[in-house]
Amino acid sequence: MTDAQTAARSDAQSAAAWLRAVVESTEQLLADVAELKPEAVAEPSALPGWTRGHVLAHISRNADSLVNLLDSARTGRDIPQYASPEARDQGIEEGAGRPLDEQLADLEASHRRFMDAAALLPDEAWSVQLKHRSGYLFPAHELPYKRLLELEYHHVDLAAGHTPAHWPDTMATSQFTRLAAQFRAVEGLPGMVLVAEDAGLREQLGAGEPELTVEGPVRALTAWLSGRADGDGLQVHRGGELVSDARTALPELPPML
């Protein structure tokens, strides 16, 4: 086996592992959505300005957008993730007001389309560079991981009982590291050390000597970094002294990318 074939096999195996996580995450989402009351679709989600229907429509349309990228990797054609930003927004708005049974059916059908498209990719296609809707390039084998993030983050946004405590270990730890790197050089942030006790991870944000030490489970830290929590469940020390309410000491972070 050549080096290229070995690399392609490794990328395909990585994709397969994340695809298994996608299946598990989708099954849990479908089970939770099936338990919602019909009127819950029109109720507010945890995302400002979005109902639960908006969140569900977005999850479904995201799956279809990733099918476009999977097809691009397989065929070599430049197929954009979405036809346009306006088309993306329109798809969410048009789908938001549908009744619960239609939302559930769409989630199931779009998931099948995503998995079917992934099953068609030969090993070498998982190494193809693709363009995200925001413009950056990434290898195709990261697509299943990106789908998992959409599922898990927006399942929490649905405000239907799924919390960061339910996030898979691998997602929570990888996102903790990624988000810490994103915010490391943000201007105006006080220097702080983040300590994920259960994962044995440590990251530093802000400039200069750390003013704060923020400790807690990796899921709670990732929830705060991603804007899914206000710091509840974390401990903050300032100058060696425990702050009585962590939420009052933690700075506001910019949106995650």
CATH code where residue 128 lies? 1.20.120.450
DSSP letter assigned to residue 237: E
What pTM value is reported for the model? 0.95
Same domain, 141 and 94: yes
Same domain, residue pair 195 and 157: no
Question: Half-sphere exposure of residue 160, counting CA atoms within 13 Å on the CB side?
Answer: 28
Query: Exposed, middle or buried: residue 248 (CB in 10 Å: 0-12, 13-18, 19+)?
Result: exposed
Euclidean distance between CA atoms 179 and 185, whole angstroms: 11
Of 143, 149, 163, 134, which is closest to residue 232 (Cα–Cα)? 163
Cβ–Cβ under 8 Å, residues 198 and 218: yes
Q: What is the mean pLDDT of the chain?
A: 95
How many domains would you assign to the chain?
Answer: 2
- What does the pLDDT look like over 187-222, one tens digit per residue? 889 899 999 999 999 999 987 789 999 999 999 999
Same domain, 156 and 181: no
CA angle (93 as vertex; 108, 225 as ends), nearest 5 = 75
For the cut 70, the answer to whether the pLDDT of residue 126 exceeds it is yes
Token couple for 99: 């009744």
How do residues 8-45 score in pLDDT, each as one tens digit?
889 999 999 999 999 999 999 999 999 999 999 999 99
Whether residue 164 has pLDDT greater than 80: yes
Which of 103, 128, 162 corresponds to the end of one domain? 162
For range 173-197, the mean pLDDT: 93
Q: Which range of residues forms the domain containing residue 140?
A: 3-162
Whole-angstrom distance, CA of residue 40 vs CA of residue 117: 31
Q: What is the CA radius of gyration of the chain?
A: 20
- Residue 257: the pLDDT is 85
Q: What is the average pLDDT across 92-107?
A: 98
Measured distance CA(192)–CA(212) in Å, rounded: 5
Please identify, among 137, 162, 187, the residue that sits at the C-terminal boundary of a domain: 162
CATH number, domain with residue 221:
3.30.1050.20
User: pLDDT tier at 1 (50, 70, 90 boundaries)?
Assistant: low
Rounded mean pLDDT of 230-237?
Answer: 94
Residue 3 clears pLDDT 70, i.e. is over it: no
